Structure 1
Amino acid sequence: MDEEFEINESTGYFDFKGFIVKIFSYWYLFVISILIGMSIAYFINVRKQPIYQIESLVTIKDDQNPFFTSNTSLTFNWGGVSDKVNTTVTTLKTRTHNEKVVNRLRFYIQYLEDGKYQKEDAYGKVPFVVMEDSLKAQLIGRQMTIQFLDDTTFELSLKFEDEESGNLSFYDYTSKEQESVFSKKEDYKAIFSTSEYIDSPYFKGRILRNTLPVNEGKLYYFQFNNYYSTVKKYQGINVNPENKGSSILNLSLNGNNKEKLVDYLNTTVQVLSEDMLNRKNLFATKTIRFIDSSLTEKSKELKSVEEELNQFKISNDIIDLTAESSEIRQRLTNLDLEQNEIQRQLDYYNRLEDYLRSRQSYQEVPAPSVAGIDEPSISSAVGKIVALSEQRSKYAYSLKTDAPIFDDIDRQINATKTVLLENIESSKEILQEQLATVRKNVADLELQIRKLPKEQQDLLKIERRYTISEQTYSLFLSKRNEAGLIKAANVSDLQIIDKAMDTGVGKIGPNTQLNYVMALLIGSFVPLVFVFLLVFLDNKINNPKDINKLSPIPILGVVGKSKTSSNLAVFSKPRSAIAESFRGLRTSMQFIFKQKHIQGNKTILITSSVSGEGKTFTAINMASVFSMSGKKTLLIGLDLRKPKIFEDFDITNDMGVVNYLIDQNSIEEITQKTNYDNLDIIVSGPVPPNPSELLMADKMDILFSTLKEKYDCIIMDTPPIGLVSDALNLGKYADASLYLLRQNYTKKAMLSVINEKYEKGEVKNISFVLNYFQHKAKYGYGYNYGYGYGYGYGRYGNGYLQVENKHSISKRIKKKIKKIFNI
């Protein structure tokens, strides 16, 4: 992969290697950002309440009634254990089931106490129980405070802080209706006794004591919450089979209060077990209800016939039937019972057929055994239809009405119903044939009865009715006892293997490590984005590589950042790295002069794009190194608009180039000596109104021809070429030109001006010098350049360069922080 990625812009590119180096240069930002992130993560973690997970283990068994026979069973089991497991998993997550659990535990009331950082769930830890008036609506979403004054007296209060008036929400937990009431919000405070009825504007009910000891003066809180929000919270219970296809289910629930989790898990299992048992006893319960209503009628009928029989015997002075009449009665009784049994079965079939043809839900189909029907195909078909219908109802709680499973269940019900109706028709035909035979036999016996005396005939009729009523009553009573026995013997298919319990473990959160990892990632990402934006949006020259990318003009060298207070860096610290960088420039200039065959006097022009890039600093120190080498050197200030060089040499700017060009003074008069050997200065003089015209005057030719005869080296400090054209006019007097670029100051777009003039040939023998260069990675430049130009420390060693004082790391960090935040 290339080190650089070129962006299709005229003046832009992205240096990946420089970007990586720059990231390391801003290490302090990463340290600060990560420390801030870690601090935030710590404050979040210490305020997080512990999270616990409590588990319970149950199994779904297909427990058949031990009294099950084909004749007595009033329950059915279709679908097997796997179907019950799926149904159980779905049921535990349904709203209806969780409503039952929340109602039983009254978890819509939240108990709280003051924790270290916030209020914490105090379920099972408070010495009281809130018993709301179920007929009244309660204020929800507001914490009421209880403070016990003694074991049976407490203060109940509610504060609204600075709220004056507004809507308050009240909830009726019986009708499940919520209403908003606009009210003036006034703080409430009153003293009550435990068990006393409280009729306050915000709470109606009683506060009861439990067995926990009272901590007098401690503040407790309770709050009524939205009912359905509470139910929805517990619908998130986790229900998972232990293994694929297993009938063992693992129930788990997460929360901040272990006792609350334990109670909910055990209660949800208890409620589900009761519901499953009730569904299992559904046939028996309905059968008992039907038989009880029939027994009442048969009891009245039997009593009425018995009274009629006794009254007849008394009135006619008859004690009993004769032997012949008794025999006929016995035979008639048997036939009547058989006829009633057949008729009862026919009635059941007719009722069942009508029920199947007219109903859409089949959960209330009467059991065949109630009518004494033992036909296995009928009993199994009825049981299957009931089971499928019940299964469909369960799925309706959690699935949409257009779910494919409903169509599948309906197809099974319809197929079973079709077969069942055919079996019913067949059975009815057989029973009707049997009924016709019995009736014929009864008619034959009734002919014999007519031959008996009148009193015997009437007595026989009454006893015949009595016997039928008594036998029917006994049959229903037997079925009633049978159904009661089956119901009592049934057990739920849900069995608890491992009851939910607080064993002292189960803490699963909060995940403080994740917060610290996130803090580390975010803390690193923020400064990374910051550095990326700095690099991506940076439009300034930062290193020689930027220059090479943007211009064909060669780089002569680099000059480091001076730490001296004046511009006389070479004279004040001749063995410093700055002095060596200027010596390197001098050597490079001599190489250029030799290559261009320039002999004798040398004239060097120094310019830049804009003001502030270090022209005067470079001109002064270039003149300094040439004078220190024994060359007779002249530094001439040709920036007539902003003269500067006089200040560093403690001379005045009263007389200079301007005075010469307007014929006020001679060259000798404007030339000033300095305190340094071989170095003279001509300042610019007073600021004229027409600097460009003066520099284009013929006297400039005379000035430079004269100066070249007197000096070995002439250094010209000129105006910025990007602002005015003065430097271009002076270029004809220069043997070489140095174009100053300042690191992290000169904008990349500024090079387009000098590039255009260079390509047109308007400037010649020009080279770039990168000024104010810091040999640091923050500018994406810590390699290749510097050593060859005299800036690198490693080239000379400690014995050759004057070591500059460096600030301690702590002071440097403080300095950077102040720079970032502009302190």
Structure 2
Amino acid sequence: MNTNDQRPYLDDSREESVDVKQLLFKFLRYWYFFAITVFVALIVAFLFNKYTKPVYEVSSTVLIQDTKKGGMADVQSLLGVGFGNSQQNLQNEIGVLNSNSLVVKAVKSMNQKVSYFSEDNFITSELYKTSPITVIPDTTHPQPANIKFYISIKNTKQFEIRADGENAKLYDFSLEEFYTQNDQEVIVDRIDLNKSYSFGETIETKFLKFKVLLNFNYNSDKHLNQKIFFQFNDLPGQVAAFKNYKIEPINREASILEIKLKGNSVEKSVDFLNTLTNEYLARGLNKKNMIAIKTIEFIDRELIGIRDSLTLAEVQLENFRRDNQIMQLDVEAQQVFEYMKDLDKQKAELLMKGKYYKYLKTYIEERNDIDDLVVPSSMGVEDPLLTQLLADLTHLHEEKSALLLTSTRKNPAIGQIESKIKNAKANLVENIKNIVNTSNIAIRDIEERIVTQTAKISSLPSSQRELLSFERKFDLNNNLYTFLLQRRAEAQITKASNLPDNEIVDEAISEGKMPVYPKKSLNYLIALLLGLILPAIYIYLKDYLNDKIMDRSDVERATHYPLVGVIMHNNRDSKLVVAESPKSSIAGSFRSVRTNLLYMAKGNEKQTILVTSDMVAAGKTFISTNLATIYALNGRRTLLIGFDLRKPKIFQEFGLSNTEGASSYLIGKSQLNKIIHKTFVENLDILLAGPVPPIRLS
């Protein structure tokens, strides 16, 4: 067909769009592919959910007071000062809760030297508090840690034990550390045990010693064929296993911490969290109690000497009164006694404080902490400067402890704080010396006044003088003894009334806990989506990367030219279908093409139609012969020209000779009227290609 349209056949710059409707129809054609992938994905999700160990999350919340509590904070409260801010305190308490020492205490309190497990369908489950057996290790004998000992219960009296482990470390439960010889950890190359025993019988080899007992919860229907094993736990391994909990405030403004722990056993995780928080509260309470205990111990040491002196003074006074028949002082002696009694009391208090200053100076110089320091207020010392210096030292120790929770002593900040602590101690010792000097001056002044009063006593009768001396001695020791007893009682009341400064808001519970992993519903949803998405992506990419024409839409998307028709594939032996089977669907498709071409010609009766392709055996001969025939059958005079000079085939379809044709005409060997042949189809003539030329025509 003649045309002046010079647009390219293919337009690579043409914007492509996805035909959703067509894409859906393509997906529907592969419905079985989607069904298979969805089925396989759901099966995989089912197996994953079934054979994956469930992970549960439990949590506990702890209320932290706004000011730091505990050992050093109680020193601060007794000193009458406070430091820091609530946010710093909160971070310090998080450090305490995360500390290795607290986890070690919690693990020890749980007393989980042995763990029990069951195996069923490739799933290993811990039998926490539900094991039908109890293993009692001999703590004086090393045990192989983390080696599986399989138990097969035969009946209520006997069982079979089997162990087959290599490179087993021996653990010493009495020392709570790995067993060593010559400072080297003992590693056993192989633990081999396969024997029957009675319940309660001692199982002993060179590397192990323990007993196995049958619990009351044993059920023959449930446990007789159950695959059970146990293993001995080492303390470092248990600490590492539990130390995956997370601590964070419930919000930025609150001072409530939430502790979350994930584990395969709900009950075990709950017990650990509750034990951890209880140990945390006990730690703070113990620090508070330690202050009161040290105060009581200090007072008790002083009471021992004063009690003896008081007893002696009382005996001497009673003996003098009995021997001299004098029961009380006269008026003049009583006046002197009352005045000197007050002086003696002042002197005794100063001397008692002097003993405390000596104790405090020794404590500061020799100790590296102030956790169990007897605070000044407990001994009636209320010096503002001393109190402030002790408060400064307490604050520095608090900063150091907080840093050590999250770093090592190699941290430069630790060195800076230790330097400040050293200076603070020096200032405190210097202040104590000044207080002692001031106190000594006051004592000398009191002694001078006592000497003055003693001169007045010389004018009294000898019996009154001696009675006054005994009364003074007894009253001095009695007052001092009473003062110390009062302070001791106050310390005991403080100790008895101590409560943890922080509190547990919500304990961890096991009821109603659902696994956080695997998320079964989510896994099924993901499997369903993958089962739909993966084949869809495959089909889309396969279609997108396919450079073959599969249907008319591919042609319509690839070119601007109109599509005149679609010819069905010919499965018949005959190639000239439109002539031999005019009522066939293929003939109908050629008639449709003819109609469209005539319509596109817009009344132009003379049409030239070129049939070509870029590859061999594409169907040029089939299309051209049938298209020419369908035109001729419509009563239109048609000339079919065969220009396939390399592999001419048209002559075969019409049973003609190819001795002359276009090739011989082009080289001048044939006349035009000689190479045009009539066919058995009315109105159809053929100009054959002719003999194949010896060289390629250009």
TM-score, normalization by structure 1? 0.62
Q: Which residue of 1 aligns with 2:684?
A: 713
Q: Does residue 126 of structure 2 align to residue 121 of structure 1? A: yes
1:286 and 2:256 matched: no
Distance 1:322 1:716 in 2: 171
Aligned pair 1:26/2:30, yes or no? no
Provide the residue aligned with 2:7 in structure 1: none
From 74, 93, 103, the equivalent of 2:98 is: 93
* Partner SS, residue 212 of structure 1: coil
Pick closer, same or farther for the CA change 1:213–1:191 going to 2, 3 Å: same
Output the amino acid matched with 2:275: T
Asked whether 1:38 is paired with 2:42, we answer: yes
1:102 to 92, 98, 107: 107
More deviation, 326-335/606-615:
326-335
Gaps of 5+ in 2: 1-9
Output one character per residue of 1:536-595: Cα deviation in whole Å (capped at 9) or x when no partner: 54444556676688778x566343442635464546764555333322333455568887
- 1: CA distance, partners of 2:550 / 2:15: 12
* CA distance 1:460–1:168, shift in 2 (3 Å): same
How many angstroms apart in 2 are the aligned matches of 1:487 and 1:638?
117
Q: Which residue of 2 aligns with 1:523?
A: 531
1:189 maps onto 2:194 in alignment: yes
Aligned to 1:486: 494
Deviation at 1:171, TM superposition (A): 5.6
Change (3 A) 1:190 1:318: farther
Contact 2:676 2:687 in 1 (8 A): no
Distance 2:312 2:685 in 1: 151
Contact 1:560–1:581, Cα closer than 8 Å, also in 2: yes
Contact 2:168 2:188 (C-alpha < 8 Å) held by counterparts: yes
1:434 corresponds in structure 2 to: 442
CA distance change for structure 1 residues 128 and 77 in 2, over 3 Å: closer, same or farther?
farther
- 1:535 Cα deviation after fit: 5.0
Query: Aligned letter for 2:38?
Result: I
Q: Given that residues 54 and 501 in structure 1 are in contact (C-alpha distance below 8 angstroms), is that contact kept between their aligned partners in structure 2? A: yes
- Give me the whole-angstrom Cα distance separating, in 1, the residues matched to 2:161 and 2:487: 59
Is 1:274–2:282 an aligned residue pair?
Answer: yes
| Paired residue type of 2:284 | M
Residues 128 and 267 in structure 2, CA contact (< 8 A), matched pair in contact too? yes
Looking at structure 1, the residues matched to 405 and 687 of structure 2 have their Cα atoms a distance apart, in angstroms, of 94
Contact 1:34–1:520 (CA<8 Å) still a contact in 2?
Answer: yes
User: 1:74·1:284 contact (CA, 8 Å) conserved in 2?
Assistant: no
Q: Distance in 1 between matches of 2:475 and 2:212?
A: 63
CA distance in 2, matches of 1:607, 1:196: 97
Say whether 1:264 aligns with 2:272.
yes
- Whether the aligned pair in 2 keeps the contact of 1:365 and 1:386 (CA below 8 Å) is no
Give the letter aligned to residue 559 of structure 1.
V
2:152 to 140, 147, 164: 147
Instruction: Indicate conservation of the 8 Å contact 2:640/2:686, yes or no.
Output: yes
Deviations 1:399-434 (Å, cap 9, x if unpaired)? 688999999999999999999889867755652332
Q: Secondary structure at the match of 2:268?
A: helix
Aligned AA (1:433): I
CA contact (8 A) 1:63 1:492 kept: no
Please state how far the C-alpha of 1:278 moved relative to its aligned partner. Answer: 0.4
Relative to structure 1, the CA distance from residue 134 to residue 383 in structure 2 (aligned partners, 3 Å threshold; closer, same or farther) is farther
Would you say the 8 A contact 1:615–1:717 is kept in 2? Answer: no
Between the aligned partners of 1:424 and 1:76, the Cα distance in structure 2 is 19
1:559 matched to 2:566:
yes
CA 21–404 in structure 1, closer or farther in 2 if over 3 Å, else same: farther
Q: Residue 17 in 1 paired to residue 22 in 2?
A: no
1:450/1:148 Cα in 2 relative to 1: closer, same or farther (>3 Å)?
farther
Q: State which of 332, 336, 343 in structure 1 corresponds to 2:351.
A: 343
Structure-2 change in CA distance of 1:431 and 1:350 (3 Å): same
CA distance in 1, matches of 2:53, 2:17: 45
Contact residue 556 and residue 563 of structure 2 kept, 8 A: no
CA distance in 2, matches of 1:526, 1:240: 40
Residue 80 of structure 1 and its aligned partner are, at CA, apart by 10
Mean CA deviation greater in 399-408 or 516-525? 399-408
1:286-365 correspondence runs (5 A): 286-292=294-300, 298=305, 302=308, 338-349=346-357, 352=360, 361-365=369-373
- In structure 1, the residue matched to 2:4 is none
Q: Which moved more, 1:396-405 or 1:26-35?
A: 396-405
Q: CA deviation at 1:490?
A: 1.7
Contact map agreement 2:565 2:596 (CA 8 A) in 1? no
The answer to whether the Cα contact below 8 Å between 1:619 and 1:717 also exists between their aligned partners in 2 is no
Q: Does 1:366 align with 2:374?
A: yes
C-alpha displacement of 1:123? 0.8
Normalization by structure 2: what TM-score?
Answer: 0.71
For 2:356 and 2:685, locate their aligned partners in 1 and report how far apart those are by CA, in whole Å.
130
CA distance in structure 1 between the aligned counterparts of 2:309 and 2:461, rounded to whole angstroms: 26
Quote the offset at 1:436 in angstroms: 1.4
Counting only pairs closer than 5 Å after superposition, residues 623-702 of structure 1 correspond to structure 2 as 623-626=628-631, 628-629=633-634, 656-657=657-658, 660=659, 698-699=668-669, 702=672
Letter in 2 for 1:517: L
Question: Which is further off, 427-436 or 166-175?
Answer: 166-175
SS at match of 1:112: strand
Give the counterpart letter for 1:35 in structure 2: F
**How far apart in 1 are the matches of 2:626 and 2:420?**
103
Structure 1: which 5+ runs fail to align? 1-8, 161-165, 662-666, 668-691, 730-761, 763-823
Which residue identity is paired with 1:706?
I
2:116 maps to 111
Matched residue SS, 2:161:
strand
Distance 2:666 2:114 in 1: 95
Which aligned pairs between 1:158-173 and structure 2 lie closer than 5 A?
A: 158-159=163-164, 167-168=167-168
Percent identity over paired residues:
26
Paired with 1:108 and 1:549, the residues of 2 have a C-alpha distance of: 74
Which moves more between the two structures, 337-346 or 414-423?
Answer: 414-423
Are 2:590 and 1:582 aligned?
yes
One-letter code of the match for 1:129?
A: T
Q: 1:518 to 1:714 in 2, by over 3 A?
A: farther
Q: Return the letter of the residue paired with 1:519.
A: A
The answer (yes or no) to whether the contact 2:176–2:234 under 8 Å persists in 1 is no
Instruction: Give secondary structure in 1 for the equivalent of 2:152.
Output: strand
Q: Distance in 2 between matches of 1:470 and 1:429?
A: 27
Q: Paired residue for 1:608, among 598, 605, 613?
A: 613
After TM superposition, the structure 1 = structure 2 runs for residues 492-571 of structure 1, keeping only pairs within 5 Å, are: 492-496=500-504, 498-504=506-512, 510-531=518-539, 533-534=541-542, 537-541=545-549, 554=561, 557-562=564-569, 564-566=571-573, 568=575, 570=578
Query: Which moved further from structure 2: 580-589 or 543-552?
Result: 543-552
Partners of 1:546 and 1:506 in 2: CA distance: 53
Q: Does structure 1 retain, via aligned residues, the 8 Å contact 2:632–2:683?
A: no
Preserved CA contact (<8 Å) 1:108 1:224: yes
Query: In 1, distance between residues paired with 2:695 and 2:581?
Result: 30
Distance 1:467 1:189, change over 3 A: farther
Is residue 303–residue 484 contact of structure 2 (8 Å, CA) maintained in 1?
Answer: yes
Aligned residues of 1:135 and 1:172 also touching (Cα < 8 A): yes
